[in-house]
Amino acid sequence: MHNYGCGQGKYFLKDGLLFASDICPEILQDIDRHANTDVHLANTLHLPYRDECIDAALMVSIIHHLATPKRRRDSINEVARCLSPGGLLLIYVWAFEQPCGRIPLMKFHMNSTQEQRIIQNSVSINLNGRKNIINNNILAFILWINSLFRKIFKSEKFLSISPSSPHSLPPPYPLFDSHTANLMLNSVITGINNWNPNLRFNLKSLTMSIEEQFAYELSSQIIEDVLLEVASTYRNITFYRYYHVFKKGELEKLIATIPTLRIISSEYEYANWRIIAQKC
């Protein structure tokens, strides 16, 4: 038997082997260990199991967190792939037809059931642990935009200097004339740019007009301010867990698109739709 989205290990078997899998490694670290239970980190869209190796499966409060009909179908189809012929699949999803037309409130406790854990996970996600990762990604994006912007202003459209290969050596110095001096300056500036772009810009200002230099600085500052504003806004975004509530008959239609499954029973139970399907 396999319990997909096992959470804290609410279900277990006294006889037989239970596979318990979840996509959240933190949950699996704190799961209650039971005899005859094997815990796996797995995604229901891509299960690490061979075909027809499971006798029965549970999908309790799983597929209503998937955002599209295709992903919900793919998840059920992947579980059906692992079921042996005649194997049973139990599916629970939240119903659109809620008592009094409202999703019931459920108090959360540290030692919660799987359903209570789902309610708790629907509130905003704490991103403090990922703050450095997010900041690094934003910084990398800003640096990439800045480098792209510099390349634009290196073009002949903005600079009145000859292009030079970034890896070329400075030209020979046979005579001290204006043409040779200009080539030497370009080569030196290009070489310096490989080590210090800011120093390169200071030297470039010697060959740029005041208008070009002002436009460069103003545009660069505008882009930097915009990106910093975007980064600040992103850090203040609150993320919520996705829910899809199933209307009457919707889950049956979804399972009907999977030829390897046939529905044995379908019931409304405690604000949920429950279906038992069998592998053909």
265 pLDDT band, cuts 50/70/90, is very high
Q: How far apart are the first and last CA of the chain?
A: 17
Q: Which residue has the higher pLDDT, 89 or 212?
A: 89
Q: How many CB atoms lie within 10 A of CB 84?
A: 12
C-alpha–C-alpha distance, residues 43 and 256, integer Å: 23
Task: Name the token pair of 187.
Answer: 């080569």
Task: Name the token pair of 213.
Answer: 């230099």
Q: Domain 2-125+240-279 in CATH: superfamily?
A: Vaccinia Virus protein VP39 (3.40.50.150)
Q: Is it the case that residue 17 has pLDDT exceeding 60?
A: yes
Residue ranges in 205-238 assigned as alpha helix (H): 210-235
Of residues 122, 125, 63, 127, the one with CA closest to residue 255: 63
Q: Is it the case that residue 273 has pLDDT exceeding 80?
A: yes
Q: How many CB atoms lie within 10 A of CB 193?
A: 19
Q: Residue 267's pLDDT is what?
A: 94
Question: What kind and span of H or E run contains 278?
Answer: strand 272-279
By the 8 A CB rule, do 87 and 279 touch?
yes
* pTM of the predicted structure, to 2 decimals: 0.56
Q: Residue 47's pLDDT is what?
A: 93
Digit-coded pLDDT (tens) for 24-71 = 888 888 777 777 888 889 999 999 999 999 999 999 989 999 999 999
Mean pLDDT confidence for 90-94: 94
Give me the chain's average pLDDT, please. 73
203 pLDDT band, cuts 50/70/90, is low
Of residues 2, 52, 51, the one with CA closest to residue 22: 2
Q: Which residue has the higher pLDDT, 95 or 235?
A: 95
By the 8 A CB rule, do 271 and 102 touch?
no
Q: Which residue has the higher pLDDT, 174 or 256?
A: 256
Digit-coded pLDDT (tens) for 145-170 = 666 656 655 555 444 444 444 444 44
Q: Residue 258's pLDDT is what?
A: 96
Domain locations along the chain: 2-125+240-279, 129-235
